Amino acid sequence: MPRTGLSAAEITEKAIDTTMGKMRQIGFAKVRLTDIARELGLSHAALYAHFKDKTALFDAVSERWLREIEAHLESVCRQPVEPLEKIEAWCLALHRAKVAKVLHDPELYKAFDLSTAVQKPFAARHMENLHRQLVGLFNEARAARGLGEGDAEAMAQVLTEALMAFHHPKLVAQFLQDDREPLLLRVLDSVLRGLGLKA
């Protein structure tokens, strides 16, 4: 047990919390592992046992946020509403999460953008989890129309590509001043009609 009295998991979580606070205060470029270690009452070397470098710590911050998004989207998937309503709510929730982060947590979003730009494993897992959720929603929508299962994987891929401009980090930031939701809904409507899920 470290001299802080915290478990390894608790140190990891506290390090992430502390890093997020520092990023908001001074910007992610100025955060140093030595400062985080000092605030936690650890030596620099001890913190290296949990994060090999500053990039790994920033990745952990981004990964936590992505897990929070996934949890929220999973709750959307469980809503007791029609499948197409859930697909719409899911797409809007993902877009709104990205927009809110740029607006209210710009320094954390910069770190996230940097992490996803180099295709980190946690970012790939996130995309896989989103794909899995969409496949489930499309299977529900196909079943509701009496189509059975079959093309849900391809449908999920089509929708992801079609809506990339509404959740890609750089594009969300680029169009931050615009209300993109009406366009998102038009694109979604076109995709669902094209996939034969909407009359």
DSSP, residue by residue, 48-82: HTT-SSHHHHHHHHHHHHHHHHHHHHHHHHT-SS-
Interatomic CA distance for residues 147 and 7, integer angstroms: 51
Residue 183 has pLDDT above 90, yes or no: yes
Mean pLDDT, rounded, for 66-81? 96
Interatomic CA distance for residues 77 and 143, integer angstroms: 15
- Give 66's contacts (C-beta < 8 A, 6+ positions apart): 112, 122, 123, 126
Interatomic CA distance for residues 165 and 171, integer angstroms: 6
Please state the length of the chain: 199
Label residue 118 exposed, middle or buried (CB < 10 Å: 0-12, 13-18, 19+). exposed
Interatomic CA distance for residues 35 and 50, integer angstroms: 15
Q: What is the chain's alpha carbon radius of gyration, rounded to the nearest angstrom?
A: 20
Q: Which fold has domain 59-194?
A: Tetracycline Repressor; domain 2 (1.10.357)
Interatomic CA distance for residues 39 and 42, integer angstroms: 8
For 114-168, write each residue's pLDDT tens digit. Answer: 767 667 888 889 999 999 999 999 999 999 888 766 689 999 999 999 999 999 8
Q: What is the pLDDT of residue 3?
A: 53
Mean pLDDT, rounded, for 172-191? 94
Residue 179 has pLDDT above 70, yes or no: yes
For 81-107, write each residue's pLDDT tens digit. Answer: 999 999 999 999 999 999 998 888 888
Mean pLDDT, rounded, for 11-23? 92
Q: What is the pLDDT of residue 2?
A: 46
pTM: 0.87
Interatomic CA distance for residues 195 and 101, integer angstroms: 31
Torsion of CA 116, 70, 53, 106, to 10 degrees: 60
